[in-house]
Amino acid sequence: MAGMVKGPAIFLAQFAGDKAPFNSFASICRWAASLGYKGVQIPSWDGRLFDLVKAADSQTYCDEIKGIAAECGLAITELSTHLQGQLIAVNPAYDEAFDAFAPPETHGRPAERQKWAVTQMVAAAKASRRLGVSAHATFSGALAWPFVYPWPQRAPGLIETAFAELARRWTPILNAFDDAGVDVAYELHPGEDLFDGATFERFLDAVKGHKRCNILYDPSHFVLQQLDHLAFLDIYHERVKAFHAKDAEFNPTGRQGVYSGYASWIERAGRFRSLGDGQVDFGGIFSKLAQYGYSSWAVLEWECCIKHPEDGAREGAEFIKRHMIRVTEKAFDDFAGGSIDESRVRRSLGLR
């Protein structure tokens, strides 16, 4: 067992805005620090906070970003390319919707949009190295998601072909992150081809076990899928390189269950909630992370259909801090132990 969870940290994506203190990196860092946060995860697509291309090319700029955070007592935990990662693979059914994630000159031109996304991912690898972070948060994108529920039945080989193509597109990006010494942590999320453990394993096989292919653990999505979010850590802890502390609840009724996505968020059986207001077993999660030696960040991701985000952020810092476990360096029963005596050991076992 080595290290302990670092935190609390906060993902800035849901808080960035056009009004102070959320409209610049310096002011949003001061706000986060005032709430007790020790780290920030940066949404790399938000030009109000960060210039990804500049960060890829300029160590001076990255040092400035780190310095702004450090003046507030904050560290950069990870960069996020959730929007750009989504564009690495887009099924044509979603072309028009996902154009909004890319520059206007690529709209209506899926091949050009994907090329732009690849350059963004490679830039993120370089920027992550310059910032000195060890992991990167992203989405996988999806080719097969429209076929997640097989009706009518899927064409034979459709899923295999989709994952082979997904791996073909991602392998050069994973190699770029390997060159940078940074792990790619995919958030397993509905709408992505990587949405649970089974799909992650399928992708990991397709990229031939690439060492930079890893997981951003977000238990909220597993509550909504009714997947055991504690057993997940038992199975995949070696690949968990980032952690979003986000809460959710699942309250099925006689009218709706896991497929209640046509309803508004507040009316769904499965809803994201502010940290501590849902059904995620964070006591169990932090215990598992400590047990398995997870030593990276616990990052609040706020998404709630009820509570105000600033209240969620304020409460979330204390919630994470309260759940962090200082890992023991000794056994609780050391007081009853004795010095090593080989002859005694052999006598205890009835051995001569």
Supply the pTM of this predicted model: 0.95
Under the banding of pLDDT at 50, 70 and 90, the label for residue 2 is low
Region 119-145: what's the mean pLDDT?
98
Region 180-189: what's the mean pLDDT?
98
Our CA dihedral for 86, 90, 93, 97, rounded to 10 degrees, sits at 40
What are the extents of the domains in the chain? 6-348
Q: Is the pLDDT of residue 1 over 60?
A: no
State what percent of residues in the chain have pLDDT above 70: 97
Q: Model confidence over 300-338: pLDDT tens digits? A: 999 999 999 999 999 999 999 999 998 877 776 666 677
Tell me the helix, strand and coil percentages in the chain, rounded to 5: 45, 15, 40
Q: What angle do CA 247, 249, 252 make, to 5 degrees?
A: 165
Under the banding of pLDDT at 50, 70 and 90, the label for residue 348 is confident
Q: Model confidence over 228-271: pLDDT tens digits? A: 999 999 999 999 999 999 999 999 999 999 999 899 999 999 99
Rounded distance between C-alpha atoms, residue 316 and residue 321, angstroms? 8
Under the banding of pLDDT at 50, 70 and 90, the label for residue 344 is confident
Under the banding of pLDDT at 50, 70 and 90, the label for residue 341 is confident
Max alpha carbon distance in the chain (Å)?
A: 82
Give me the architecture of the 6-348 domain, per CATH. Alpha-Beta Barrel (3.20)
Q: Model confidence over 279-291: pLDDT tens digits? A: 999 999 999 999 9
Q: Model confidence over 96-129: pLDDT tens digits? A: 999 999 999 999 999 999 999 999 999 999 999 9
Q: Is the pLDDT of residue 14 over 70?
A: yes
